[in-house]
Amino acid sequence: MKTKLIEFPQMGDARGNLVVIEGKKEIPFDIKRIFYIYGADPSAVRGQHANRNSEFVLININGSSKVRVKDGKGNEEVFILDRPYIGLYIPKMLWKDMYNFSHDAILLVLASEYYDAGEYIRNYEDFEKEVNGYE
């Protein structure tokens, strides 16, 4: 899989820390959409889909969460996001589940595309069929 953790440059002094993130620099795409998840119950599972066109970078800017990524071919990786200067890059056509949110978690998501419901695959079996070329 081509998922990868990205460590963003940190600048700071006695006044506090600053993290700068720019599209096509630290992020491997132009950022067209930004959203965030907060107030998620620790037992909640978010995501549960793949995207045909969108790439993402997920950053827990507060608290922590886990992200499970599957490629539909039997490969799976789990990442713990718990530092506000680390992002997880997720290319298109990978299944993602976000879960195990801490009570104070704020998960920021940067996306390469504007929202389009038609590019989402929300059933894992359909995702496997599409990835593996089955009808």
Q: Which are the catalytic amino acids?
A: 49
Backbone angles phi, psi at 56, to 5 degrees: -140, 155
Of 47, 52, 87, the residue nearest 68 (C-alpha): 47
Backbone angles phi, psi at 68, to 5 degrees: -105, 130
Backbone angles phi, psi at 8, to 5 degrees: -85, 150
SS3 label, residue 118: helix
Number of H helices, E strands in the chain: 1, 12
Of 59, 93, 56, the residue nearest 79 (C-alpha): 59
